[in-house]
Amino acid sequence: MEIDKNRITLKQASTSDIEVLVEFRILFLKEIQGVPSPESEMALKHSLTKYFTKSLNNYSFISWIAEYENIPVGFSGMVVREQPGNFEVLNGRTGYILNMFTVKEFRKYGIGSLLCEKLIKEAKKRNLDKIELHATKDGDPIYRQFGFIEPHDKVLELLL
């Protein structure tokens, strides 16, 4: 399939795009985590719908959708976090890129870079101090071209 890069458009997601955000988030998760049980998928769809409704309305989630001939082919999402500041993050406002996803047939056309650039511009506009993310092997080169580096602190987690 030949893709004309000039026909790719980006739009900022709104509550009218929640169905697309849910669908693409689930496609992304299936690709990196595997296929869940039907019950888990339905529960996640419900949870995501609730989350996106709330977070888009209170501006704590920023998302851009890439379209090709008015059909969604990719999306990005960033959670805006606020916590007490420190010497690196004076305002205590950070972004966490939760999702960067492009439909397989549309990969390698620069869509991920366009979406990432939009999130970075929005983070600067909102005076965020830092953006964090977990990179997949395929996504790592995209983020590095924008200046993302490994954190100096080792990250630990506890699943509850």
Number of domains in the chain: 1
Q: Is the pLDDT of residue 1 over 80?
A: no
DSSP symbol at 99: E
CATH number for the domain that contains residue 95: 3.40.630.30
DSSP code string of 9-71: EEEE--GGGHHHHHHHHHHHHHHHH----HHHHHHHHHHHHHHHHHHHHTT-EEEEEEEETTE
* Confidence (pLDDT) at 49: 98
Domain-embedded: residue 141: yes
Average pLDDT, integer, range 19-26: 96
Per residue in 101-159, pLDDT (tens digit) is 999 999 999 999 999 999 999 999 999 999 999 988 888 999 999 999 988 888 788 88
Per residue in 57-89, pLDDT (tens digit) is 999 999 999 999 999 999 999 999 999 999 989
Domain-embedded: residue 83: yes
What percent of the chain has pLDDT above 70?
Answer: 99
Domain-embedded: residue 159: no
Residue from 152, 76, 84 nearest 120 by CA: 76
The boundaries of the domain holding residue 123 are 8-145
Domain-embedded: residue 2: no
Predicted TM-score (pTM) of the model is 0.90
Domain-embedded: residue 151: no
Domain-embedded: residue 154: no
| Cα 156 to the center of its chain, rounded Å | 22
